[in-house]
Structure 1
Amino acid sequence: MATPWGGDLVIICIFLAIAAPLTTAIGVNYGTKGDNLPPPATVAAFLANRTIIDRVKLFDNNPDIVRAFAGTGISVMVTAANGDIPSLATKEGAAAWVAANVAPYYPATEISLVAVGNEIMDTADQNLIGNLVPAMRTLKAALVAAGYRRIRVSTPSSLGILVDSQPPSATRFRDGWDTAVFAPMLQFLRKTSSPLVVNAYPYFGYNGDTLPYALARPNPGVRDAGTGITYTSMFQAQLDSVYSAMKKLGFEDVEILVGETGWPTKAMDGQIGVSPAEAAEYIRYLIGEVSSGLGTPLMPKRTFETYIFALFNEDLKPGPVAERNFGMFQPDLTPMYDVGIMKDPPVKTAPAHDSDAAAPPEENGSSSAKASAPAPPEDRSSAATSPAPSEDESTDKTLEEAEGGEAPSSPKSELATENSLEDDNSSNAAAKGGDNNKGSSEKTNPEEGVATQPPSGDASKATTFIFPVSWVLAVALPLVMHV
């Protein structure tokens, strides 16, 4: 029986649901390491017409895939290859990259962000690490000079960039990287209203005892003695660990974008907590968490643009069984589980044969990391490849125009940053790292401070789920009638 105030409560809930933002910044990584995947044009049409996904993330800049999303309304994050970083650190190399990889497609394809490499810190390649921030700055200047001011620039990092990640309040960036890499990177991200991109996987930090914590089921939680906060979600704790490290350098106002997170549907025999049911449970929690507007204990009322790993199961990935089973969809576009992203009842859709489909592109990064360090990536750019430790005056001038507080590239992303100018608080950090690339790397479990093997993945896409008023009413009105 309803209480006397039950009807009013339901009406209030309906009002709040309708008044809340109707677009949630949830995307999906689109990998192509499979011999049975549909062509890009079929995938783009499927996402645009059959799902509420409107945001994709790629680990490369494959022209066939980028072109396939033209006119779909789906925003695309593209990635510059690891090997291109030394060239991108030069004015000529950055301009050539923009001319070849952005100009032919934008704005027909809504390129929202260019990722400079993938999990570069985990490669242990000092040439790439030393050129990373210069490449980000010079590439942004080249985009502005070409008239593409709204396209953001960042770089994805694994949680291996952190040390002392348990509890979150004690977390800091690795010693040496804090002031040499992340302080200038965060300064750049703040000035250009771009996010720090991190790959956060509770899957790689759980065990039999912590499964409820990783899936945010009812659990006693993990108390942070430094703040007195008890965390009942490992994902929230991971985000707050990143925030704590940023705050120690004085850049807590920079937005955080989750470049990869997911849960496999299959793993080795006997591994608990892995099935389509658990995968669906995590993704449902994730969508609700990042779109709720509630934020985390240390970042209340924040939303986080988030990309689920991954769109498809990919049968050509090496490594453990789970590596090939992070997909939300089968290669024939059949959903692996129901999390409410289909526009209509899911039906089996045969992939069309597209004559323009290209072979699976080689990716420069992956959602998961291998235990061994990757070989130095090949520099595919024909432009100058010498490192550029500093930009010249013209590049600085162009970048200053870009750093004038431009709007984020994607109107669906809430990435406007505050203009606080706090002094940097250097924090020494000793660390361990993981390579989360599809190449070789390890991810670090911020809950245990232990490097864990991430899944190897390939080019990814990200998407946004939109919940229209009609959908909200369809769910809520029956409740009103019941009351």
Structure 2
Amino acid sequence: MKSLTSLQLFLLLSTTVFNLFSSTAAIGVNYGMVADNLPSPTEVANFIKSKTIFDSVKIFDTNPNVLRAFANTGITMTVTIPNGEIPNLANEGAASAWVNANIQPFHPQTKIKYISIGNEIVLLGNPAHINGLVPAMIALTEALRKAGPQFQDIKVTSAHALNMFQGLTVPSLARFRVDLAETFFKPVLQFHQQNKSPFMINPYPYFELNVMSDNIDYAVFRKTPGVFDPTSKKTYSNALDSLLDKTYTAMSALGFGDVDIVIGETGWPSLGDPGNKAAGMDNAASYNGHLIRKIVSGAGTPLMPNRKFETYIFALFNENQKPGPIAEKNWGLFQPDFSPVYTSGALRDGPQPNLGNPGFDAEVKPGQPLPKPVQPMPSPPAANAKKFCVPKPEATDAQLQNNLDYACGQGIDCRPIQAGGVCVEPATVRCRAGFAMNSYFKSKLGVDSACDFGGTGQLTTVDPSYGNCRYV
């Protein structure tokens, strides 16, 4: 397919028929469980069904207790396959066995809507996961077909972080990374187009602040002069619209503007480390409160007007065992006792947030051009190859075991520290945790805060590699 000129692309964008997409939008929530004080899945299911506006839930595994708890509630579920299982699932037999073990015992009593194969695999950068995704998606779809007609309404997808764009640019000129556009994203989008499944993304304006001149008001939907895109002549009143339109433009440039977009994760932390001016209750209430109002309204975006996006807010609960900065533990809308962390509008009969003048449904005149970043975008992992994350000497084995479990649970490749792996010896918690912590740190593009692990990690320029065990 020939590449489109900017003019041709915008003619395409302006004439796309949006009635291809659902006229209603689900408001869902991510139900994470990295905590030791959460209520039972049955209590959670009852709370979501009876007290909240959420009609869908996304989990990060296929926890059978959770799936049983949501049976006959009418709430739709998204389940997630760990990144490490992707290569194996390209095998049809393995895919069928996975469906038999994880889907057939629960669906349709538990309404499983999506299976997300992996999470943010491009960000984590494991070639085996990237190369294996489309074959696994195809094999799993075929396994669902063979399992029977009652399983064919389940769609297969994968959630993507937004490190997928080539450089910094306005939404109207966004393109997928040149190293992955034709080899990865095009086959992924072809799969979605052929199977009428959505392209799932995790847009987080909170993590984009460094390329928005730290414009917190713009990120959390407060009224600002707006950001003007001189190519499309559109003004952006909030960061989420910009991220969604970047995604749509990049998809359209490859010829897949008709593929639906689902927001798999987005949210804002209500508490952060000292000096973190972005994390806080006021900003979290503004972001999530406006987000809910925006999704329900169907306001769409400048390039996708009147389009509703199925959206999953991150997250249901604060999770007290997540390592890393304080903010990592404080993305929840609710405390473990179901009390609201702040007023977000997520309770069905609860108070509504005082949002003032929102930054998405008011008419905004063209404002300033896109701000220049005050600091460069994070470098890819290779650029940080001489910086490593290792345990602090005073970290206990119990703390390091928690770090190990968490890091490996985030989809990094932990096979080198498993039986038969090149880093399995010496078989101590400290050595295995050190490898996992460093891999997690690199998966987050070498951002220093990703090595905090609750104060048990530290950065070093001394390469901890040994023998055939390489810390990359």
Tell me the amino acid that sits aligned with residue 337 of structure 1: Y
Structure 1 unmatched ranges of 5 or more: 1-20, 347-358, 367-372, 381-437, 445-449, 458-483
In the other structure, the counterpart of 1:313 is 318
In 2, Cα distance between the equivalents of 1:43 and 1:89?
34
Tell me the amino acid that sits aligned with residue 207 of structure 2: F
Partner secondary structure for residue 135 of structure 1: helix
Assess if the C-alpha contact under 8 Å between 1:374 and 1:440 holds in 2.
Answer: no
Partner secondary structure for residue 84 of structure 2: helix
2:300 aligns with one of 295, 304, 321: 295
In the other structure, the counterpart of 1:190 is 193
CA gap of 1:23–1:171, structure 2 versus 1, over 3 A, is closer
How many pairs were matched up?
A: 356
What per-residue deviation string (whole Å, max 9, x for no partner) do you get for residues 328-367 of structure 1?
0001111112223323458xxxxxxxxxxxx9x979765x
CA gap of 1:330–1:344, structure 2 versus 1, over 3 A, is same
What per-residue deviation string (whole Å, max 9, x for no partner) do you get for residues 381-409 of structure 1?
xxxxxxxxxxxxxxxxxxxxxxxxxxxxx
CA gap of 1:282–1:455, structure 2 versus 1, over 3 A, is farther
In the other structure, the counterpart of 2:153 is 150
2:247 aligns with one of 214, 229, 242: 242
TM-score of the superposition, structure 2-length normalised?
A: 0.70
In 1, Cα distance between the equivalents of 2:202 and 2:227?
21
In 2, Cα distance between the equivalents of 1:454 and 1:200?
18
CA gap of 1:378–1:154, structure 2 versus 1, over 3 A, is farther
In 1, Cα distance between the equivalents of 2:176 and 2:448?
18
Find out whether 1:177 has 2:180 as its counterpart: yes
Assess if the C-alpha contact under 8 Å between 1:95 and 1:139 holds in 2.
Answer: yes
CA gap of 1:153–1:327, structure 2 versus 1, over 3 A, is same
In 2, Cα distance between the equivalents of 1:32 and 1:379?
24
In 1, Cα distance between the equivalents of 2:198 and 2:448?
25
In the other structure, the counterpart of 2:468 is none
Tell me the amino acid that sits aligned with residue 305 of structure 1: E
CA gap of 1:452–1:44, structure 2 versus 1, over 3 A, is farther
Partner secondary structure for residue 38 of structure 2: coil
| 1:302 Cα deviation from its structure 2 partner | 1.2
Partner secondary structure for residue 289 of structure 2: helix
Tell me the amino acid that sits aligned with residue 326 of structure 2: V
Partner secondary structure for residue 329 of structure 1: coil
Assess if the C-alpha contact under 8 Å between 1:154 and 1:196 holds in 2.
Answer: yes
Assess if the C-alpha contact under 8 Å between 1:122 and 1:441 holds in 2.
Answer: no
Instruction: State, as a whole percentage, how many aligned pairs show the same letter.
Output: 44
Structure 2 unmatched ranges of 5 or more: 1-21, 352-401, 419-438, 454-472
In the other structure, the counterpart of 2:15 is none
TM-score of the superposition, structure 1-length normalised?
A: 0.69
1:276 aligns with one of 274, 281, 285: 281
CA gap of 1:220–1:54, structure 2 versus 1, over 3 A, is same
In the other structure, the counterpart of 1:343 is 348
In the other structure, the counterpart of 1:27 is 28
CA gap of 1:345–1:256, structure 2 versus 1, over 3 A, is closer
What per-residue deviation string (whole Å, max 9, x for no partner) do you get for residues 151-203 of structure 1?
00000010011123421122111122111111111011011111101100011
In 1, Cα distance between the equivalents of 2:28 and 2:417?
29
CA gap of 1:295–1:23, structure 2 versus 1, over 3 A, is closer
CA gap of 1:56–1:163, structure 2 versus 1, over 3 A, is same
In 2, Cα distance between the equivalents of 1:365 and 1:98?
21
In 1, Cα distance between the equivalents of 2:451 and 2:27?
20
In the other structure, the counterpart of 1:62 is 63
In 2, Cα distance between the equivalents of 1:377 and 1:222?
45
Tell me the amino acid that sits aligned with residue 81 of structure 1: P
Partner secondary structure for residue 243 of structure 1: helix
In 2, Cα distance between the equivalents of 1:119 and 1:199?
8
CA gap of 1:249–1:454, structure 2 versus 1, over 3 A, is farther
When structure 1 is superposed on structure 2, of 307-316 and 119-128 the one drifting more is: 119-128
In 1, Cα distance between the equivalents of 2:451 and 2:25?
26
In the other structure, the counterpart of 2:469 is none
| 1:451 Cα deviation from its structure 2 partner | 8.0
In the other structure, the counterpart of 1:414 is none
In 1, Cα distance between the equivalents of 2:82 and 2:250?
27
In 2, Cα distance between the equivalents of 1:252 and 1:452?
36
In the other structure, the counterpart of 1:433 is none
Assess if the C-alpha contact under 8 Å between 1:118 and 1:364 holds in 2.
Answer: no
1:166 aligns with one of 158, 165, 169: 169
CA gap of 1:276–1:37, structure 2 versus 1, over 3 A, is same
| 1:273 Cα deviation from its structure 2 partner | 3.5
When structure 1 is superposed on structure 2, of 65-74 and 270-279 the one drifting more is: 270-279
Find out whether 1:136 has 2:174 as its counterpart: no
| 1:274 Cα deviation from its structure 2 partner | 2.7
Assess if the C-alpha contact under 8 Å between 2:160 and 2:201 holds in 1.
Answer: yes
CA gap of 1:225–1:254, structure 2 versus 1, over 3 A, is same
Find out whether 1:96 has 2:97 as its counterpart: yes
Partner secondary structure for residue 257 of structure 1: strand
Assess if the C-alpha contact under 8 Å between 2:325 and 2:450 holds in 1.
Answer: no
Partner secondary structure for residue 56 of structure 1: strand
Tell me the amino acid that sits aligned with residue 157 of structure 1: H
In 2, Cα distance between the equivalents of 1:194 and 1:22?
16
Assess if the C-alpha contact under 8 Å between 1:164 and 1:170 holds in 2.
Answer: no
Assess if the C-alpha contact under 8 Å between 2:221 and 2:286 holds in 1.
Answer: no
